[in-house]
Chains A and B, each alone.
Chain A
């Protein structure tokens, strides 16, 4: 039982990371209608920045904050410079653009920061494992879950209780009518990308020190995050969080209990997703559009 609970905790910790990135995917999907395949590599670039700052002796917390702020700005610039010119193109073009960004960012980090594994990333908090009963709970799990809760709270307050958030939701729903009411739609799209980049940066800075940083670090994480978003529904922030946690827990329990699958951990979460999507194609929390005309 304690083993089960320990693995459950680990799963929730991993799931919190998938949930953060899935939230970022949902933000961009809701505003620009794009599945952002470059989300993981955006976070990767941010994490390299974080490594660069701490390698130059910057205190960890300051480095994280600076990375998140720079990523926020960088995300807005990507929307303005890369996405805006093609925003009205076909979905296929948009997918190709984000895949192109994926490849470009991946190559840029290797050229700019070197292709060796960076193992000297400092942690933002000391690693400690509590053992209430026989269950093991690490600071990793607590910090990751705490950060996820904080992110959700900030996003909730922003979207539900500010004029900016209202305008953001309006543009996601009907850009044309929003612009006619004087809402600067372009700036809202930039905000969506900026928030997504900042979320990815935070996730990267927290999780990568436990994994080691190299050009491929974010790729499996992104796959799980995509799975989480698909499971929860691409247009639902709540779905992203729940989906992330489900995928994380399914992954860690599979590794623990099904020995024959421990080398192919992708199987169970994806089988789960397949089943859910066969029953609810829009995801667990996604809205099937019901509109009367």
Chain B
């Protein structure tokens, strides 16, 4: 039995600058795994390497199959949905069109029904069906980016700092929704976050990334009780 996503010895960077120096972790079916780390630790780079937006060496296996070296659109079609940091929406398209793009690789006839479903999961989006994504608030855009990712019926959702730039109350609602999605739909998630408190609240397991390597790992509870983690990331 192998993990849904297994990352081993992942090395990646930008040009001559090596950011990841051999990263190992895994996400099992149905899990929410959170990767904590400070600015510049390599969190975003990890996600970008997994989905093929930058080159990497090592192994990244999705359900046992090496996916490193594939293009982002191939990984998108293979069931990895990535909600990139900050600008996950297609700003010139309206809400419904964004969701339709999310379902681009699907060939079934339930796309329209799914769009209605996600618009009811996120009622704020339902009220703004024809509004251009670029004119919505940060929180609404983040909801839309997540709904768009879900439209692909992904096996795994990668979320890059979903709380970035959002008001605390919006962030709380966002993580509650993510938790619900995981419980009710069984979607596996890999979340990288600086907001450790909320992320650990919905996570099964977690890792701590420092300057391009994993330094600590454990269950969400263990990490939340770990003194170093508490000092560095929970602000306690």
Residues of A within 8 A of B (CB): 163, 166-167, 169-170, 172-174, 176-185, 289-293
Contact = CB atoms under 8 A, between A and B. Distances in A.
Contacts of B91: 173-174, 291
B105 A182 contact: yes
Contact of B97 (A166, A176, A289): A166
B135 interface: yes
A177 B89 contact: yes
Contact of A184 (B73, B89, B102, B149): B73
B179 to A, nearest CB: 23
B198 interface: no
Interface in B81-134: 81-82, 84, 86-93, 97, 100-102, 104-105, 134
Given A174-B90, A174-B91, A184-B73, A290 B51 contact: no
Interface centre among A170, A174, A181, A291 (most CB of B within 10 A): A181
B90 A292 contact: no
Contacts of B92: 169, 172-174
Given A173-B91, A174-B90, A177-B84, A182 B73 contact: yes
Per DSSP, chain A at the interface is helix
29 contacts: A166-B100, A166-B101, A167-B101, A170-B97, A170-B101, A173-B90, A174-B87, A177-B84, A177-B89, A179-B72, A179-B76, A180-B81, A181-B76, A181-B104, A181-B105, A181-B148, A182-B104, A182-B105, A182-B152, A183-B73, A183-B76, A183-B101, A185-B73, A290-B135, A291-B91, A291-B135, A292-B135, A292-B137, A293-B165
Contacts of A174: 87, 89-92
Nearest to B100: A166
Given A292-B134, A293-B138, A173 B93 contact: yes
A177 B152 contact: no
Contact of B104 (A183, A292, A293): A183
Interface residues on B, range: 35 or more
Contacts of B148: 181
Interface of B: 51, 53, 71-73, 75-77, 81-82, 84, 86-93, 97, 100-102, 104-105, 134-138, 145, 148-149, 152, 165
B98 to A, nearest CB: 8
Interface centre among B51, B86, B87, B104 (most CB of A within 10 A): B104
Contact of A181 (B137, B138, B152, B165): B152
A27 to B, nearest CB: 15
B133 to A, nearest CB: 9
Contacts of A166: 93, 97, 100-101
B136 A292 contact: yes
Nearest to A293: B138
B93 A180 contact: no
A31 to B, nearest CB: 12
A170 B151 CA distance: 15
Given A177-B87, A178-B90, A179-B72, A291 B134 contact: yes
Contacts of B93: 166, 169-170, 173
A181 B157 CA distance: 11
A176 B84 contact: yes
Nearest to B82: A180
Contacts of B77: 182
Contacts of B51: 180
Contacts of A180: 51, 53, 72-73, 75-76, 81-82, 84
A275 B31 CA distance: 61
A163 B112 CA distance: 13
Nearest to A30: B92
A170 B134 CA distance: 13
Given A181-B148, A290-B134, A293-B165, 7 more contacts: A169-B97, A177-B89, A177-B145, A180-B84, A181-B105, A184-B73, A291-B91
Contacts of A177: 84, 87-90, 145
